[in-house]
Amino acid sequence: MNSLVIEAQEARAQDIAVNEDLLVVKLIDGRTIIVPLLWYPRLWYGTAGERDRFEISEDGTLIHWPELDEDLSVEGILAGRRSGEGQKSLKKWLAERGSEKSL
């Protein structure tokens, strides 16, 4: 009896693009994930320059924006998980930044 073994591979990011409305994650397997930027308020409230300065972990499973103190997993983005940050925390972060955009 033959059995088919399918090896599940973890989704890994190859590149990231962020504009005023969308987060676009290009995966190494050729797929592209596009999600609304509003799902991640720190990215939405960040400047274009801050959003452009990200780090992809060595294995491509995590994305970090140092200036925005934002960390996202590729798995979470792919699963459709939004930011879990509460309003109180976000308001405090915005106040510390002196953000121009309002809640």
pLDDT of residue 75: 95
Residue type, 75: E
Q: The domain at 13-97 falls in which architecture?
A: 2-Layer Sandwich (3.30)
With tokens 């121009």, the residue in question is 100
pLDDT of residue 98: 83
pLDDT tens-digit series, residues 16-64: 999 999 999 999 999 999 999 999 999 999 999 999 999 999 899 999 9
**Residue 75: which of 2, 13, 4, 7 has the closest Cα?**
13
* Banded model confidence at residue 8, pLDDT cuts 50, 70, 90: low
Give pTM, 2 decimals: 0.83
CA 92 to chain centre: 21
DSSP 67: G
Domain boundaries, the chain: 13-97
